[in-house]
Amino acid sequence: MKLLRLLPCLLALSLLGAEPKKPDYDSQYVLGPDSQEKAGVPKGVVTEYELADSKTFPGYGRKWALYVPKQYDPSKEAALMVFQDGPGYANRTGAWRVPVVFDNLIAQKKMPVTIALFIAPGFTPDPKNPNGKDKKGKALGKSNRSFEYDSVTDLYVKFLLEEMIPLAESKGVKFSKDPARRAIAGASSGGICAFNAAWHRPDAFSKVFTTIGSFTNIRGVISKGAEKGGNLYPQMIMDSPKKNIRVFSQEGSHDLTNEFGVWPEANQKMADAWKAKGYDYKFVMGEGTHNSRHGAQLLPEALTWLWRDIR
C-alpha cells in the first residue's frame, strides 16, 4: 500500500527530470507527386565522373555527374542547371530526387530540355590515410567547401565557366550560352554559392534556386576579417544597379543561429533587398530547420517558376 501511495510522487519526479521533447518543424514537408517516378515518363540518365585536380583550386579533386534527359537531341544546345553539393541532388531515391523531378517536368513541358550538372566541393584525401574514414563513414581529408562556396569573389564561377562546363561538354553534350537558359542551385553554403555565381556573371547564369542560404559572415569569421562575408550581400545589392537575375529562395524560421549569424534574418534581408531593387524573385519562409526537406518539397514549384518563360 505504501508503494502504491508513492507511485504518483515517483512519476512526478521522473517527469521533472525528463528533457522536454523538441518540436518537430520539418515533418510537415513531404515530397509531392512530381518528385515521384511515374509510369510512362521518359527517364534521363545520370553518369558519374571524377575530376582529379583543378587549375582554379589546385590540390583539390571532386566527384561530379551529368543528368541527360531522354528528350535531349545531341545536335541541339540544351538548357543547363548546375547543382552544388551535387551528389545529394543526383540520387533518384534521395532527399532531392532532381533526376525524377526533371523527368516529370520536362515531360509535362513545364521546363525546357535541361541537362543537370552535379558538382561536389573540392576534397583532398588525408595523405597518411588516403582511403580512411571516420566513425561516421566520412572520408578523412580536407574539404574546400567553405572557401569555394562561402567566398563572395568570382573564383568559383570562374571555375565553372573555365573548367567544369567545358569538361562536361567534352562528354558529348552542348549547352546554350544564353543566360536565360542557364540556372544554378544550392543549399546552405551551396545556396549563397549559387547566387554569388549569378551575381558575378549574370551573363552566364540568370536563374537561381537557393535554399537555407548561408548569407552570413562565415568567411569573415573563419578568416578573422581578412575576407568579406555573405552578410554584406544585402547592402551590395542595394548599392549596385539591378542585374538580370531571377531568384527563388527558401528559408526556415527555425534555421541556424550561431557565431556566423542568424540565418532567417540574413535570408529575409536578402529578400528585402531584392524587393527594394525590383528583382524578379520569390521568397518562401517556412518553419523548418537547417535541412533540405522544405526545399526539396518546393523543387518542382521552384523549377516551374524559374523556367516559366523558357520551354
* Extents of the domains making up the chain: 45-126+137-306
Identify the CA nearest to 291 among candidates 248, 255, 261.
255
d(CA 299, CA 197): 20
Domain 45-126+137-306 has CATH 3.40.50.1820: yes
Per-residue pLDDT for 41 more than 70? yes
Q: What percent of the chain has pLDDT over 70?
A: 94
Per-residue pLDDT for 105 more than 60? yes
pLDDT-based confidence at 4, cuts 50/70/90?
A: low
pLDDT-based confidence at 8, cuts 50/70/90?
A: low
Per-residue pLDDT for 211 more than 70? yes
On whether the pTM is more than 0.75, the answer is yes
pLDDT-based confidence at 210, cuts 50/70/90?
A: very high
Distance between the two ends of the chain, CA-based, in angstroms? 78
